[in-house]
Amino acid sequence: MKDLMLILLNLRYWLLVLGIVWISDLALMPYIDPYFSKIIILSGISIILAVSLNLINGHTGQFSMGHAGFMAVGGYISALTTLLVQNLVIGNLAVQNLIFLLALLLGGISAALIGFFVGLPSLRLRGDYLAIVTLGFGEIIRVVVLNLDIVGGSRGLAGIPKYSNFGWVFTFAVITVFFCWRIVNTSYGRAFLSVRDDEIAAEAVGVPTTRAKVKSFVIGAFFAGLAGGLFAHDLQYLSPAIFDFNRSFEIIIMVVLGGMGSISGSVIAAIFLTVLKEALRPLQEMTGVDLRMIIYSLLLIIIMLTRPNGLLGKREVSEILMSWKKKAS
Amino acid sequence: MTEFVQHLINGFSLGSIYALVALGYTMVFGVLQLINFAHGEVFMTGAFVGYYSGRFLGFDRSPSFVGLLVTLGVSMMACSLLGLLIEKFAYRPLRRQPRINILITAVGVSLLLQFSGQLFFGSDPKFFPQVYKPEGTWEIGDLRINPLQVNVLFVSLSMMLVLQYIIFKTRVGRAMRAVSFDHDLARLMGIPTDRVISWTFMLGSALAGAAGVLVGLIYPKIEPFMGIVPGLKSFVAAILGGIGNVTGAFVGAIFLGLAEEFVVGYGASTYRDALAFIFLIVVLLIKPTGLFGRAGSEKV
């Protein structure tokens, strides 16, 4: 807990982050093409999703395939909150943004709660079995949403106010990266890495492995929930079909491509794949086929065959640059 | 009562199709300890090969039992070839890698087959040709039985018997059991493990191909993404019965088919797709070896 407090109390980082967001959002956005800014927003959401899944899959080694489920919980809860509250309170921009922030946090917290229950089986299961159970959990969440009339069932939930903008997405993407980065570099989070590398040895030296596993699920789910909320308030529409297997697979592909256990790898892969998806859109419209997924899946297979650890492996970009520098000198 | 028996029959016919797919999962898992995620897509390919071969050979114009058998044969051969290719190019190079890498590759192969299916077959659903159309319905009292369902049940049951024969009475089957018991030891004893694994993939994929044709007959709408859900459910069925165990897979699949049919029959039809996963979670948490799992071999 002490480490966590230290992270939260480190003002320098917060000021830096906020400064960057303020400058970029206020100064640059009016000059940026809406389509371009849409891609940036989607990239930011992908970054949050990929980095948070990386914490579970890459850093803790618990292969989860149900990330879209957490995203769905966060998205629906936060969308419901803003929809319910906006009728009660008619406020200015500041009040609206405050409501949005609270809705996002509520979405994240409810996703974290679900993450706790999804994480529990990881105490007994590992590898393939855990993967298929988390996939099952994601699917159960989707089916439950499909059957809930309050969120529109299969018709979907429309009319969600558009609160997500570049500033918010950027803030949360930076917070996610910052948080995950700090976590795996403190004794608090080193436990996650030790669970991945050798669970039995970690247990033997007194690492509370069970707690580490559930924690990584809870934290990962929290950020996925946030991303879901941002996504909902950007798209302004939610339906259960958005959160099917393929969404989970997309996030997994980002994590695997970037390298399991590399935060900067996840960030790069998330941006790359989101941009690639848009770049392929004209080709897709010409042929009428979802070529994107063919390329994604081929990428996945080729990477597994040629570079089994992903592009960056467990290393960060900074470490790779450092090793280049050393070689040069 | 009549309704109950009707659901029972429907459940058995659904369950026997799950069983054909589940057998492939269980065999591959028994031999390689690998969840072949692409198995559901092999099943989908089977349905499409059946669709094209049935139409190409003209069985949709003159339905007959021979037509069914030929379509089944073509589809099974095509699928076993596909299984062989998947094993050779995607899984074999990774055999010494960590399990998680093979799992990711399997997911990749599954996605690749789905979306190339969309590319080659088109994304709109197609209607499976009636290669075999038995006359009328059988009526016992108030009970109406579609002879097609009974035939499908019969075909899948006989395939399972053939599989049982292959596994327990032939040389290949004995080699498979040996490899599944201990991969390295089997190799030391001179068993060509790579070839045995190829055989396992071919057999399992052939059964999935047969399941594809049979599904096409009972539920004629086929599309490139039809393999995902039955694939996952059949995998659940295999776990339910104790993965790696052929009888277990069969019993688990029938159980799942019946359970789903009754859930649909008595109300909550929209929860049908969640049912399999609820079973899965309960079984894995309470008895991870499944109903018929070998005692003492904690696979989880």
**Would you say B149 and B137 are in contact if contact means Cβ atoms under 8 Å apart?**
no
pLDDT for position B297 = 44
Torsion over CA: A192, A198, A199, A203 (sign): negative
Nearest to B104 among A140, A147, A300 (CB): A300
pLDDT for position A224 = 96
% of chain A surpassing 70 pLDDT? 90
**Structure tokens of A19?**
């400064």
Q: How confident is the model at residue A9 (pLDDT cuts 50, 70, 90)?
A: low
What is the three-class DSSP state of A64?
coil
pLDDT for position B296 = 44
**Residue A22: pLDDT over 60:** yes
**C-alpha to C-alpha distance for B39 and B45, rounded to whole angstroms:** 10
| A290: contact with B, CB 8 A cutoff | yes
Q: In chain B, what residues touch A295 (CB-CB under 8 Å)?
A: none
**Residue B293: pLDDT over 70:** no
**Structure tokens of A308?**
């089994």
| A273: contact with B, CB 8 A cutoff | no
What is the pTM (predicted TM-score) of this model?
A: 0.87
Q: In chain B, what residues touch A136 (CB-CB under 8 Å)?
A: 232, 236, 276-278, 280-281
β-pairing verdict for B126-127 and B221-222: antiparallel
**Would you say B232 and B173 are in contact if contact means Cβ atoms under 8 Å apart?**
no
Q: Where would I find the beta strands (DSSP E) of chain A?
A: 157-158, 237-238
**Residue B181: pLDDT over 90:** no
Amino acid at B85: L
Chain centroid offset of residue B26 CA = 9
A258-A260-A263 Cα angle (round to 5):
65
| B118: contact with A, CB 8 A cutoff | yes
**Nearest residue of chain A to residue B113 (CA atoms):** A294
**Structure tokens of B189?**
């004893």
**Structure tokens of B230?**
């039955």
pLDDT, tens only, A202-217: 989 988 888 999 999 9
Long-range contacts (CB closer than 8 Å, 24 or more residues apart) made by A302-306: A303/A256, A303/A257, A304/A256, A304/B94, A304/B97, A304/B101, A304/B104, A304/B105, A304/B108, A305/B90, A305/B93, A305/B94, A305/B105
**Structure tokens of A245?**
């297997």
Q: How many CB atoms lie within 10 A of CB B234?
A: 31
What are phi and psi for residue B144, nearest 5 degrees?
-115, 120
With a CB cutoff of 8 Å and minimum separation 6, the contacts of B22 are: B234, B235, B237, B238, B241, B249, B250, B252, B253
| B85: contact with A, CB 8 A cutoff | no
Write the CA distances from A219 to A1, A48, A56, A278, A324, integer angstroms: 14, 12, 9, 30, 33
Q: Give me chain B's average pLDDT, please.
A: 86
Write the CA distances from B139 to B9, B136, B146, B239, B265, integer angstroms: 13, 9, 9, 36, 20
Q: How confident is the model at residue B298 (pLDDT cuts 50, 70, 90)?
A: very low
Q: Give me chain A's average pLDDT, please.
A: 85
| B94: contact with A, CB 8 A cutoff | yes
pLDDT for position A219 = 95
Q: Where would I find the beta strands (DSSP E) of chain B?
A: 126-127, 138-140, 143-145, 221-222
**C-alpha to C-alpha distance for A154 and A128, rounded to whole angstroms:** 30
pLDDT, tens only, A151-189: 887 888 888 888 888 888 888 888 898 888 888 888 888
Cβ-in-10-Å burial (0-12, 13-18, 19+) of A124 comes to middle
Nearest to A293 among B115, B228, B276 (CB): B115
In angstroms, the separation between the Cα of residue B3 and the nearest Cα of chain A is 26
Size of interface A-B (CB pairs under 8 A): 121
pLDDT, tens only, A240-296: 989 988 899 899 989 998 888 889 899 999 999 999 888 888 877 777 667 778 888
Task: Return the higher-pLDDT residue of B77 and A12.
Answer: B77
Cβ-in-10-Å burial (0-12, 13-18, 19+) of A89 comes to exposed
Torsion over CA: B105, B106, B112, B115 (sign): negative
Count of alpha carbons within 13 Å of B2, Cβ hemisphere only? Answer: 7
pLDDT, tens only, B55-104: 888 777 777 888 888 999 999 999 999 999 999 999 999 888 888 888 88
Exposure letters A281-319 (e unless 16+ CB within 10 A, then b):
eeeeeeeebbbbbbbbbbbbbebbbeebbbbbbbbbeee
Segment of A41-50, A115-124, A312-321 carrying the highest mean pLDDT: A41-50
Nearest to B101 among A137, A294, A308 (CB): A308
Cβ-in-10-Å burial (0-12, 13-18, 19+) of B177 comes to middle
pLDDT, tens only, B28-52: 888 888 888 899 999 999 999 999 9
ipTM of the complex model: 0.82
| B123: contact with A, CB 8 A cutoff | yes
| A133: contact with B, CB 8 A cutoff | yes
**Residue B299: pLDDT over 50:** no
pLDDT, tens only, A41-74: 999 999 999 999 999 999 998 889 999 999 999 9
With a CB cutoff of 8 Å and minimum separation 6, the contacts of B48 are: B117, B121, B126, B212, B222, B224
